[in-house]
């Protein structure tokens, strides 16, 4: 069973990175420093005081910025590729004992893919909220994303199997939401 825990944690953390870029990495840093998680040796720098300080500062700034109307939409432009990178990094920390090519390939495909799908759903929700409320309803979206990031991070670290299942349910829901939006938009433009 131990061979599967790393990848299961990786998927949960990657999903959390789709909601917020830095918060899951901060959780990973805390878990690594406390000894709760073992990080892949080449990425053990994440479990250091300097990394913790930088990630804590970045997390506070990211969370605060998402509560500023229209800045949140601008952040999505930058956050999407960063979420994919963060999901890849978070996944790589849990995929040790394999060749670096295999480790980073799996991390990019799985971690980057999961965080990219979640971030895409998040961007679509914020765009819909902006369109319906002129950006004023985005506070609700930002709060939901923050809660999603906190819950997904904690579950991935403390209850990895539950976090993994939650990530799969979330991926299903986001893909379904995006597919429905696509088909509605296609039907509207064709009719």
pLDDT greater than 80 at residue 144: yes
| Average pLDDT rounded to a whole number, residues 36-45 | 94
User: What predicted TM-score, i.e. pTM, was given to this entire model?
Assistant: 0.91
| Average pLDDT rounded to a whole number, residues 108-114 | 97
Dist CA 66 CA 70 (whole Å): 9
- Residue 105 exposed, middle or buried by CB count within 10 Å (0-12, 13-18, 19+): middle
What is the domain count for the chain? 1
Under the banding of pLDDT at 50, 70 and 90, the label for residue 1 is: very low
Task: Please tell me the least confidently modeled range out of 50-54, 140-144, 181-185.
Answer: 181-185
Which pLDDT does position 153 carry in this prediction? 98
Which pLDDT does position 191 carry in this prediction? 59
Domain that holds residue 183: 2-190
| Mean per-residue pLDDT of the chain | 93
């Amino acid at each position: 069973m131990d061979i599967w825990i790393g990848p299961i944690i990786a998927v949960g953390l990657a999903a959390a990175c789709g909601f917020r870029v830095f918060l899951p990495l901060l959780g990973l840093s805390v878990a690594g420093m406390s000894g709760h998680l073992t990080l892949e040796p080449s990425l053990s720098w994440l479990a250091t005081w300097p990394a913790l300080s930088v990630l804590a500062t970045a997390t506070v700034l990211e969370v605060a910025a998402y509560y500023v109307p229209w800045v949140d939409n601008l952040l999505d432009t930058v956050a999407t590729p960063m979420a994919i990178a963060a999901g890849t990094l978070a996944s790589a920390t849990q995929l040790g004992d394999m060749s670096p090519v295999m480790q980073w390939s799996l991390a990019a495909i799985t971690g980057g893919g999961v965080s990219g799908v979640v971030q895409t759903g998040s961007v679509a929700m914020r765009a819909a909220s902006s369109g319906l409320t002129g950006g004023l309803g985005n506070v609700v979206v930002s709060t939901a994303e923050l809660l999603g990031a906190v819950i997904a991070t904690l579950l991935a670290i403390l209850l990895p199997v539950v976090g993994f299942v939650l990530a799969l349910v979330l991926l299903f829901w986001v893909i379904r939401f995006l597919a429905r939006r696509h088909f509605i938009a296609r039907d509207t433009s064709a009719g």
